[in-house]
Amino acid sequence: MRIAVLEDDPDQQAFIAACLAPDGHRLEALERAADLRRGMQLESFDLLILDWQLPDASGLEVLEQLRHGQGWMQPVLFITARHQVGDVVMALEAGADDFLHKPLDPDELRARVKALGRRLSLSPPSGMLELGRYRLCRARREALIDGDAVTLTEREYQLVNLFLTHPGELLSRKLLMELVWGLSGDVQTRTLDTHISRLRRKLGLDGRHGLRLRSIYQYGYRLEEAGAMASA
């Protein structure tokens, strides 16, 4: 696998590289969140090993941007010297696939990376996301229903990417406004509601194709299976 290691401690970078060397992975050692952003523009990675504390951001901030801002689907293994149970919960809720405490055990690190690799082999290619009758082509930034392309604006694409990446999750208005428009969630505007209305109409997200984009009063939106609302 091609693995990005975002860790600002050179000794930890060298240790991780030595642990994973027997398995033939290709590692890219990065020290700052900005380095990861630049690296992802130049090449693709199969797995990210992410440290909690970084010079220019927290690991949680990097993870939130990857999952919600960029729709990055590849596995993320979080590593940290923090040992509070709440930290594990925060990392997993933010989108981490696995979590390891420092000091790292070489055998456990190798086993976790192998397990994430097996999971990756069962996943669809990151360039195409499928959910029911819907497909999202990230290369062309378009949605398809039963193979028929639907033209979307950039903001509409970003929204549907978030919903299809996180089916069944309640996404708050605040989060959507911050990630898609870069605005504080406290800003009073009907822009989000207007875009959601257009998405429902363009993509038939009223249940007719198996998915419904449901409004949660005074909080946000959730993409769910058409039968979920009736059975809830």
Residues of the chain with CATH 3.40.50.2300: 2-121
pTM tops 0.85, yes or no: no
Angle of the 106-121 helix axis to the 10-20 helix axis, nearest 10: 70
Query: For the chain, what percent of residues have pLDDT higher than 90?
Result: 40
Q: Where in the chain is the domain with CATH 1.10.10.10?
A: 128-231
Looking at the structure, give the CATH architecture of the domain made up of residues 128-231: Orthogonal Bundle (1.10)
The region, left, alpha or beta by phi > 0 then psi within -120 to 50, assigned to residue 15 is: alpha
pLDDT of residue 138: 74
How would residue 184 be classed by pLDDT, with cut points 50, 70 and 90? low
- Residue 171's alpha-carbon distances to 129, 149, 168, in angstroms, are 19, 25, 9
Mean pLDDT within 71-100: 81
Give the C-alpha separation, 24 to 205, whole Å. 44
CATH superfamily of 2-121: Response regulator (3.40.50.2300)
Q: How many CA atoms lie within 13 A of 154 on its CB side?
A: 5
Q: In what helix (H) or strand (E) does residue 128 lie, and over which residues does it extend?
A: strand 128-131
Phi, psi angle pair for 12, to nearest 5°: -65, -40
The mean pLDDT value for 223-227 works out to 86
Least confident of 124-128, 140-144, 221-225, 228-232: 228-232
Tokens for 158? 């970003």
User: How far is it, in rounded angstroms, from Cα 6 to Cα 187?
Assistant: 34
